[in-house]
Structure 1
Amino acid sequence: MEKRAINPWQWQDQRSYVQAVEVKQTEGILYCSGQAAVHADGRSSTDDMKTQLLLAIRNLEQVIHEAGYECQNIVRLNVFTTSSAELFTCFDVFQDWVAKHSIQQATTLLEVKSLFETLKIELEATVVK
């Protein structure tokens, strides 16, 4: 598989994403449903944004690994949140996770009116190998 990031500018680097990702010669593509702060027993988290973000990341990692893929090969990551302002208070958690896995992904961040039950954050990924 070949991946190439396309960045006509440099300002997105500080925001931990790329403008586009070209992928050639893939072996497989994994489309992940939105992963949120849902515990293994199916109970939605009532915790703060940072705690929910950490659990959503762990859940996304688990789905990716169980499918036989790697986080570093996330090429698209949509972020849905009920509060962009609250997310930005802990955005370093997201940025550290992206850096830890050397992820170069196209990202769209959307603030939505609500998510399921008490959820504040949801991560939807496309992964290649």
Structure 2
Amino acid sequence: MEKRAINPWQWQEERGYAQAVEVKQTEGTLYCAGQAAVNPDGTSSAADMKTQLIQALQNLEQVITEAGYECKNIVRLNVFTTSSDELFTTCFDIYVDWAAKHGIKTALTLMEVKNLYETLNIEFEATVVR
């Protein structure tokens, strides 16, 4: 697999994403359903945004790893949140650190939504290649 990030500017580097990602010669593509702070027993977390973000990222990692893929090969990530303001002021740095730790250069879109399932307030939907 050959992957190339396209960044006409540099400012997105500090935010943990790429403007576009080109992928050639893939062996497989994994489309992940939205991963949120849902416990192994299926109950939704009622914790704060920061705690939910950490758990949602852990759940995303688990799905990707169990499928035999690597987080560094996430090429598209959609983030749904019930509060962009809260995300940016309380815990976006955790996402940026997580992306850096895995060497992730992904095309990213963040969307504020009216609500998510039950008590959830953040969800990650990923496309991963191999």
TM-score by length of 1: 0.99
Residue number in structure 1 paired with 2:18? 18
Distance apart, 1:3 and its partner CA: 0.2
Q: Tell me the equivalent position of 1:112.
A: 113
Supply the AA of the counterpart residue of 1:32. C
Between Structure 1 and Structure 2, how many residues are aligned?
129
Moved more, 84-93 or 115-124: 84-93
Q: In 2, distance between residues paired with 1:70 and 1:111?
A: 27
The letter of the residue matching 2:52 is: Q
Q: Work out the CA distance in 2 between the residues paired with 1:5 and 1:96.
A: 18
CA distance in 1, matches of 2:117, 2:54: 17
Shift of 1:14: 1.4
Equivalent position amino acid for 1:66 in 2 = E
| C-alpha distance in 2 between matches for 1:39 and 1:87 | 21
2:92 counterpart of 1:67: no
Question: Which consecutive segments of 4 or more residues in structure 1 shift more than 4 A?
Answer: none
**Between the two proteins, what is the percent identity of the paired residues?**
75
Instruction: Confirm or deny that 1:35 pairs with 2:35.
Output: yes
Give the CA RMSD over aligned residues: 0.5
What amino acid is the match of 1:118? T
Q: What is the CA–CA distance in structure 2 between the aligned matches of 1:34 and 1:113, rounded to whole Å?
A: 16
Structure 1 Cα separation of the partners of residues 6 and 100 of structure 2: 18
2:102 counterpart residue number: 101
CA–CA distance in 2 between the matches of 1:61 and 1:13? 21
**Stretch of structure 1 that moved more, 8-17 or 119-128:** 8-17
Letter in 2 for 1:106: A
Q: Distance in 2 between matches of 1:76 and 1:116?
A: 22
Per-residue deviation at 1:53?
A: 0.3
1:13 Cα deviation from its structure 2 partner = 1.1
Q: Offset at 1:29?
A: 0.2
Deviations along 1:87-118, one digit per CA (max 9) or x if unpaired, are 11211110110000000000000000000000
Q: Is 1:127 matched with 2:128?
A: yes
State the TM-score, normalized to the length of structure 2: 0.98
